[in-house]
A and B are shown apart, each in its own frame.
Chain A
Amino acid sequence: MSQPATTNAGVWTEGSPPANVRLGPNTLVTDHLAFKRFHSKHIDALVIGAHCTMDGVHFDLGEQGRMVIGDYCYFTNAVLLCELEVRIGNYVVIGWNTTIADTDFHPLAPAERIADAVACSPIGKGRPRPEIAKRPVIIEDDVWIGPNATILKGVRIGAGAWVEAGSLVTRDVPPRARIMGNPAQIIGEVP
């Protein structure tokens, strides 16, 4: 957070971001680990709009991952795990230590998981990994997500929804709903 807030172009405090990352005007990205696990091969793999604060956020994109974030977003130490697609709207707030993942990382079937464990191991070099479930995560405008929450693959969170701290979100959330719990349930509506 040492960077002056008045810069016009988007800035990563630790240097130049990967070439396929676009930061909008006055957007600030901090933390030396921000792109430590950024492996996407897409052109414009990560596009962040204007006036965003991405403080200590980890952009962990796999080779096929693509992520779009709107304007005036405010994320604190979020971990964004993206193997396919994550789309986040404008004025979205994500609290400390929240995780978003658009994949399960490993297959469900035990036999396939053995094959995956071998493929991922030091002796499995070059072996193809089995098919792994991935579904886009979509977070619409004005969503507030508290600290320590988890958003799983395939979830769409409707505009203006309020996700309480510590929620584990496994299903779509209607616009303006207030949700909490594990698994998260609707507890009301945003006034």
Chain B
Amino acid sequence: MKNRKLEWDWYPGTIPENVLVDETAYIETTFSFLFYRSELSGGVEYGRGASTYLGTMFDVGPRGRVKLGECALVHGARIICDAEVSIGDYALISWNVVLMDTYRLPVNASERRKELELVPARQLRLASANVPAKPIRIERNVWIGFDACILPGVTIGEGSVVGAKSVVTENVPPFTVVAGNPARPIRQLDSKERTHHA
């Protein structure tokens, strides 16, 4: 596949070669790929009707992979990914959400110093310490409110809702509303709510 431009794009970029885009998907701007450097085939995969808008940034390392399910809507999330971030079908992700599967820099201060001393010599000045990454799974039909942070290793179960500005540190069961910093379960969505609108 050749590098592709978007006719409506304000940014003079292209969709990277190893990004798989369903023909029905929508990408507002290739600026989203400024920090994209995955070397995997399908480093980002757009499902049927998936879309990403301005503000969405794929900060994806060489071994990172991001999957967007059917009609997944990503409206401006910072996706910091060195392993895998999967966003399920019909998931809705609001603006300024952080999905991070890695901290990128060592927790130990003297190791972090060593990496910070290497960064200024790199072309994109990005950290690439060998910090373990833990995949993030956003299951189908999840809704994440604005400014929320999803930390490494978290799975958010089907149909759950994450309130605005929440910081999610632990797995969220299916059909659960969580909110707060750190996020706590508020309630379960009952079987009626799961099938009908209020």
Contact = CB atoms under 8 A, between A and B. Distances in A.
A111 B103 CA distance: 45
Nearest to A92: B116
A191 interface: yes
Secondary structure of the A contact surface, majority rule: loop
Contacts of A170: none
A33 to B, nearest CB: 15
A168 to B, nearest CB: 7
Given A5-B122, A97-B78, A146 B149 contact: yes
Contacts of B116: 72-74, 91, 93
Contacts, number: 94
A173 interface: no
A78 B147 CA distance: 14
A165 B123 CA distance: 26
B167 A165 contact: yes
Interface string B88-124: 0000000010101001010111001100110111111
B119 to A, nearest CB: 6
Interface residues of A, number: 33
A28 B125 CA distance: 9
A60 to B, nearest CB: 18
B181 A166 contact: yes
Interface of A: 1, 5-6, 26, 28, 51-53, 55, 72-74, 91, 93, 96-97, 142, 144, 146-148, 160, 162, 164-168, 180-182, 190-191
Interface of B: 34, 78, 80, 96, 98, 100, 103, 105, 107-109, 112-113, 116-117, 119-125, 127, 147-149, 151, 165-167, 169, 180-182
